[in-house]
Chains A and B, each alone.
Chain A
Amino acid sequence: MYAFEIERPSTIADAVAALQAEDAQALSGGQTLIPTLKARLAMPSALISLSGIGEMQGLCMSDDGALCIGGGTTHATVASEAAAHYPALAAMASHIGDPAVRNRGTIGGSLANNDPSACYPAGALGSGATIITNAREIAADDFFDGMFTTVLDEGELITEVRLPIPQAANYQKFVQPASRFALVGVFVAKYADGVRVAVTGASEEGVFRWSEAEAALSADFSASALDGLSVPADGMIADLHGSAAYRAHLVGVMTGRAVAAAS
């Protein structure tokens, strides 16, 4: 990597101020950023570590019953501490990467990076989460803006993620064999006002909602409700590990399995 300065502020305000410096870059768990630096694919002047910001750590329940997760909370913490409140989300977090990844990687970092094969974008979009930053609140439906892209502004930090607790939910991941990211991952959540189905890994546009499945499942929350439904292969990712048609097929399979496991 190239040489850089590193700062470790203890408040969100200090972090936001530090990020004003030219070419400063926020460092959360670093699970994508550090390999990128090691490959010399980025040259930040300074890394602003978020790991010392206590107000971005941990989980709590809001008065209206949503699970609130600090943006700097690791996957391992979510896996253990969300289990009593939102077991499907905790189970999803417990299968991201390996223990080393889960003990460093954070929910805020994952959402801000919006890797098209990451799990958290599906969890957040499938839960209809609210992404809270130092500047504003953004509905998950408005947050993701295509592969590796979000609506976050330069220097804007995810400080918290609020997830309404569904009546039933499940995440099914069919892993890409080498990386064990999601080749296709589907998060299904049933709320009083309808079912949400969020798909990661599959689309060239990044995480998306499968609206036909949502409508069918809102009417009848059973795997058989998906019979005859499919997503088109157009726009699906095609690579060594799966053709576009295969990914489109897996979206149906994984959605059915998630519904079966959730109900």
Chain B
Amino acid sequence: MPKDSGIGASSKRREDVRFLTGAGNYTDDINIYGQTYVHFLRADVAHATINAIDTSAAAAMPGVLQVFTGADFEPVGGIPCGWQVTDRHGEPMQEPKHPVIAHGKIRHVGEIVAAVVAESLAEARDAAEEIELNLTELSAVVDMKDAAAGGTKVHDDLTSNVCYDWGFVEENKGAVDEAIKNAAHVTTLELVNNRLVANPMEPRVAVGEYSRADDMHTLHTTSQNPHVIRLLMGAFVLSIPEHKLRVVAPDVGGGFGTKIFHYAEEAFCTFAAKAVNRPVKWTSTRSEAFMSDAHGRDHVTKIELALDADNNFTALRTETYANMGAYLSTFASSVPTWLHGTLMAGNYKTPNIYVNVKAVFTNTVPVDAYRGAGRPEATFQIERVIDMAARELGVDPIALRRQNFVTEFPYATPVAVEYDIGDYEATMAKLEEIADIGGFAARRAESEARGKMRGLGVNCYIEACGIAPSNLVGQLGARAGLYDAATVRVNATGSISVMVGAHSHGQGHETSFPQVISEMIGIPEDQIDIVHGDTSKIPFGMGTYGSRSLAVCGSAMVRAAEKVIDKAKKIAAHLLEASDADIELKDGQFSVAGTDKSVAWGDVTLAAYVPHNYPLEDIEPGLEETAFYDPANFTYPAGAYACEVEVDPETGKVTIERFAAADDFGNVINPMIVSGQVHGGIAQGIGQALMENCSYDENGQLISGSYMDYTMPRADDLPFYDVDHSCQTPCTHNPLGVKGCGEAGAIGSPPSVVNAVIDALQSGGKDVTHIDMPLTPTRVWDAMNNA
């Protein structure tokens, strides 16, 4: 029988009460007495020299407090990049300065050129129209291969547009080349992983505050990781020490990675609040979001898969161009390298792998992590090339995968990571069951009778989550530790507040984290709250991304709770006049083993705060403990996905008829929340595969800059999903045995969608072997009619 509380229960999401009744407190809901508003004048050309900016007329407009340009930010630092990648030749990546406001040069459409702070937003906008820009427009470089080849340079002070040329593992290159030369069969595929815009429902917002009384800065911002913002902005941009800078990220309406990063608008509002001595607020419009939120993906790859005569994979070689945009966003450099190259083994025991990535600057918005971040790009390449190989060899694509599965764990891949545990056969078998793959032929016949082509696509995926062991990522160039922290504060009457470094912006932490504590102590979930999103309230925290919250911060919470329980047992032992070692905690009662003597959780916690009968000579009063947890390894969620599509031969329109996902997330705390995470991820994966496409013209103008042209998936584009997470190989190295589930759907779904469309077209006699995402009707129709 399903549990009704604690670990494994589908407890209802308590945060939804406020979200669904309009009682959430988002950053834009924060309005401070005396608040002013900033309007950013953004570049409408992609590349230009700024000869002069005349702000005198703007400054004289009604309501204007101050007009800022790049010159005002010369004394402060640039927006930092958090990861230094070392190239194939041992050289550090090229790292251009990333100014808060463009200074000297404009490098992408949407870059901030000037900022007006005024009493009202309308006055700020009016004044911004009076700013006179004297620009010399330059030719823009948009295509990555053009950028890498030379010509127009995005940054004059760099030697080229190539940020780094990364080889992984460089020492393996010779062996890989040799294996490919000697292969019985090599399948080669060139593909695009399309540029995406994350489009969280809540656009970014920043409110800066400054108190002259105590020289205290406060930034309210839409962030997934307030401590990271405090660190980056305080230490690298504005030189504000931590104790004088508070960063608050209240309710956040979706992040998907794009709210990890430290953005210029945050630094601006913090800086300007002190300059004008008034709070300064910015709320992004949707149009601004399209041209200032970091974009995702945007890789162009050539992949070669070598097989022996028995169809065993013998080698994999890739060459990828990864778009960085005009500047390095916070984690941009790590996405195509350490979050991508390390996953190129996939679920398979390919012995020789070499990954080459050329990261390139272009006159476009910076590109950084988006749900999955590097792992979707890896999965898409591997799972598309395997499908193509199966087709070329005339073998069943599922059988080809099975034959090459990693089956023994731990498994050290040729790309530097060690999978601790998994069972890929189990998830594939579960997929075959829930997707009813055996019934596909009948469904295809039914579709064909209606004049439609039907296809089935399958893929596996693996991801590295629970980011990350600090000593390892430090060696790889990370400029931060990737542990997390939690404080378990037990109140006198036994209720608990847990201050966590993870940030919930849709993941349901406020529900699932208390389930863990409830299970450990045996008190009701509603006696436990979590506190997050405010650097003044939580001990420390690296935030939420990379499906890390439960695996890393949840582990810290468990460690802190264990310390609390240890201390509470000592207090209970005193109250029960027994030895610590004999005390057991179950269902909220401390008892002495083998006796009927017991004391309730609440009596022990009361004793801790009212220590009249208390071992004060041995232990301190109070009951509050903090733990930091640094993971020993990544976690490796994995699974198998299946998609069935119909293609209309007259129009090229693809409809998703069925979608099934069999995931192994290790232990599951709240199955309902996990299913919801998978549903959302698949929606974004289907969006990438069929609809979403961030597109620039050759002049660097964003031509999909609104929802009139950027296609978001909608409910009626999506099928009902068959999702299953009953295959569970618990993580071997964290206390909860959990792996993370937030990104799986977005990582695992695009290849199966594309594989299914190719299968459908081939079944209809069309000689189409690949179509680049998104598979819009016009692209599918073009492919069919050129085949």
Taking Cβ atoms with an 8 Å cutoff, the residues of A that contact B are 2-3, 39-40, 174, 177-179, 239-243, 246, 249-250, 253
Contact = CB atoms under 8 A, between A and B. Distances in A.
Given A177-B711, A178-B691, A246-B781, 19 more contacts: A3-B122, A39-B287, A177-B776, A177-B777, A178-B704, A178-B707, A178-B709, A178-B712, A179-B707, A240-B693, A240-B695, A240-B703, A240-B709, A241-B709, A241-B778, A242-B778, A246-B777, A246-B778, A249-B781
Interface in B771-787: 776-778, 781-782
Nearest to A40: B125
Contacts of B201: none
Contacts of B704: 178, 240
B617 interface: no
A2 B778 CA distance: 39
Nearest to B692: A178
Contacts of A243: 778, 782
Contacts of A179: 707-709
A178 B707 CA distance: 6
B68 interface: no
Nearest to A252: B650
23 contacts: A174-B651, A174-B653, A174-B777, A177-B691, A177-B776, A178-B691, A178-B704, A178-B707, A178-B709, A178-B710, A178-B711, A179-B709, A240-B693, A240-B703, A241-B709, A241-B778, A242-B777, A242-B778, A243-B782, A246-B652, A246-B777, A249-B781, A253-B650
Closest 3 CB pairs of A and B: A178-B711, A242-B778, A177-B711
Interface of B: 122, 125-126, 287, 650-653, 691, 693, 695, 703-704, 707-712, 776-778, 781-782
Given A40-B125, A240-B693, A253-B650, A178 B708 contact: yes
A2 B125 CA distance: 9
A246 B779 CA distance: 9
Contact of B776 (A3, A241, A249): A241
B39 to A, nearest CB: 11
Nearest to B652: A246
Contacts of A250: 651
A2 B121 CA distance: 12
A249 B648 CA distance: 14
Contacts of A249: 781
A229 to B, nearest CB: 15
Contacts of A40: 125
Contacts of A178: 691, 704, 707-712
B709 A253 contact: no
A253 B704 CA distance: 27
Contacts of A174: 651, 653, 777
A250 B778 CA distance: 10
Nearest to A250: B651
Nearest to B129: A40
A179 B650 CA distance: 22
Contacts of B650: 253
Interface centre among B126, B693, B704, B711 (most CB of A within 10 A): B711
A239 to B, nearest CB: 8
Interface centre among A39, A178, A242 (most CB of B within 10 A): A178
B478 to A, nearest CB: 37
Nearest to A178: B711
Contacts of B125: 40
Contacts of A240: 693, 695, 703-704, 709
A178 B703 CA distance: 13
A249 B707 CA distance: 25
A240 B711 CA distance: 11
Contacts of A246: 652, 777-778, 781-782
Contacts of B693: 240
A220 B126 CA distance: 61
B484 to A, nearest CB: 38
A110 to B, nearest CB: 16
A211 to B, nearest CB: 23
A246 B710 CA distance: 19
B708 A253 contact: no
Nearest to A180: B714
Interface centre among B287, B651, B712, B782 (most CB of A within 10 A): B651
Nearest to B126: A2
B649 to A, nearest CB: 10
A241 B650 CA distance: 16
Contacts of B777: 174, 177, 242, 246
B701 to A, nearest CB: 13
Nearest to B707: A178
Contacts of A241: 709, 776, 778
A148 to B, nearest CB: 15
B780 to A, nearest CB: 10
A241 B712 CA distance: 14
B517 to A, nearest CB: 43
A42 B695 CA distance: 27
A177 to B, nearest CB: 4
Contacts of A39: 287
B711 A253 contact: no
A241 B776 CA distance: 8
A249 B649 CA distance: 12
A246 B777 CA distance: 9
Interface centre among B125, B778, B782 (most CB of A within 10 A): B778
A118 to B, nearest CB: 13
A241 B778 CA distance: 6
Nearest to A253: B650
Nearest to B710: A178
Nearest to B709: A178
A246 B782 CA distance: 8
B256 to A, nearest CB: 19
Nearest to A39: B287
Nearest to B122: A3
Contacts of B710: 178
A179 B125 CA distance: 27
Nearest to B704: A240
Contacts of B707: 178-179
Contacts of B695: 240
A239 B693 CA distance: 13
A40 B778 CA distance: 33
